[in-house]
């Protein structure tokens, strides 16, 4: 199981529970954005499992980036590669819903010489033709695709995930993600034939804090909650994946 995290405690919990690797982001509430280099370097000192870094310069489900935004992704790719990233997670699209092969290849040229693995993320789920795009992504040199099968959850997208895995024919790894939990993990694996799963396994944690005057920062009742990867959930999903693949 790959666990997506946006804070230190979640990464520690993921490793302690047997996760294969982590996908490191900031702002999971926005679907995951590029993390800080400080967070990455801190975690490299704290955990030993591979860290894949999200390259996503802003929120928005279009994944169409300007030249300046792609340039910022290239700078991040170089800095994280030099800092020891084990892999990267990104995707760039054209406005017509096709893969931006030029933008992707510019970043891959930076990443690949460092020996990093590369995942095409859930930008795949808004492509206009996922099956044609599969071959393009393989030819570009990506190692895996994170996808829900173009549905809201991997459970709903199981049929497309199964088709993609058959068509990929081990040329690229198809990794189901979105809504994966300990209750449906086995069903997803059985229905799709996937070898890896992706999820956050998060639960909300209430933070106790007494600060200044109430309402100073226009706070709400939700502002004292953070989401942390749950060890037990990760442990259960890891056990299911391992048993399925054994």
Domain ranges of the chain: 2-245
Mean pLDDT across 155-159: 98
Tell me if 23 sits within 8 A of 16, measured CB to CB: no
**What is the pLDDT at residue 206?**
76
Q: How far, in Å, CA of 98 to CA of 31, rounded? A: 20
Q: How far, in Å, CA of 23 to CA of 18, rounded? A: 14
Q: How far, in Å, CA of 228 to CA of 219, rounded? A: 20
Q: How far, in Å, CA of 10 to CA of 118, rounded? A: 22
Q: Give the 3-state secondary structure of residue 112.
A: helix
**What is the pLDDT at residue 161?**
98
Closest CA to 89 of 24, 20, 18, 44: 24
Q: With 60 as the cut, is the pLDDT of residue 153 above it?
A: yes
Backbone conformation region of residue 112, classed left if phi is above 0, alpha if psi is from -120 to 50, else beta: alpha
Mean pLDDT across 20-41: 96
Lowest mean pLDDT across 9-13, 20-24, 36-40, 224-228: 224-228
Q: With 90 as the cut, is the pLDDT of residue 208 above it?
A: no
Q: What is the pTM assigned to this prediction?
A: 0.93
- Residue 221 structure tokens: 């009742």
State the CATH architecture for 2-245.
Answer: Alpha-Beta Barrel (3.20)
| Three-state SS sequence of 206-237 | ECCCCCCCCCCCCCCHHHHEEEEECHHHHHHH
Q: How far, in Å, CA of 160 to CA of 166, rounded? A: 10
Closest CA to 62 of 159, 119, 128, 149: 128
Tell me if 107 sits within 8 A of 55, measured CB to CB: yes
**What is the pLDDT at residue 85?**
98
Q: How far, in Å, CA of 159 to CA of 230, rounded? A: 29
Put the strands of the sheet holding 87-90 in their side by side order: 173-176, 144-147, 117-120, 87-90, 51-54, 21-24, 2-5, 198-199
Q: How far, in Å, CA of 67 to CA of 103, rounded? A: 9
Residue 224 DSSP one-character state: G
Mean pLDDT across 88-115: 98
Closest CA to 40 of 27, 22, 57: 22
């Amino acid at each position: 199981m790959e666990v997506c995290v946006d804070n230190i405690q979640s990464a520690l919990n993921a490793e302690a529970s047997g996760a294969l690797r982590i996908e490191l982001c900031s702002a999971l509430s926005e679907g995951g954005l590029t993390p800080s280099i400080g967070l990455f370097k801190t975690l490299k000192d704290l955990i030993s499992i591979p860290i894949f870094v999200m390259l996503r310069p802003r929120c928005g489900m279009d994944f169409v980036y300007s030249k300046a935004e792609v340039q910022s992704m290239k700078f991040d790719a170089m800095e994280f590669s030099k800092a020891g990233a084990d892999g990267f997670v990104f995707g760039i699209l054209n406005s017509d819903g096709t893969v931006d092969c030029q933008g992707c290849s510019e970043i891959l040229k930076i990443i690949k010489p460092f020996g990093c693995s590369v995942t095409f993320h859930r930008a795949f789920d808004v492509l206009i033709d996922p099956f044609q795009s599969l071959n393009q992504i393989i030819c570009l040199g990506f190692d895996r695709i994170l996808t829900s099968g173009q549905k809201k959850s991997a459970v709903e997208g199981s049929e497309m995930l199964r088709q993609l895995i058959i068509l990929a024919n081990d040329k690229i790894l198809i990794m189901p993600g979105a809504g994966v939990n300990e209750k449906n993990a086995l069903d997803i694996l059985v229905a799709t034939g996937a070898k890896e799963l992706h999820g956050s396994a998060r639960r909300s944690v209430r933070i106790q804090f007494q600060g200044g005057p109430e309402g100073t920062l226009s706070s709400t009742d939700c502002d004292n909650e953070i989401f942390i990867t749950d060890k037990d959930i990760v442990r259960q999903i890891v056990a299911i994946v391992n048993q399925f693949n054994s």
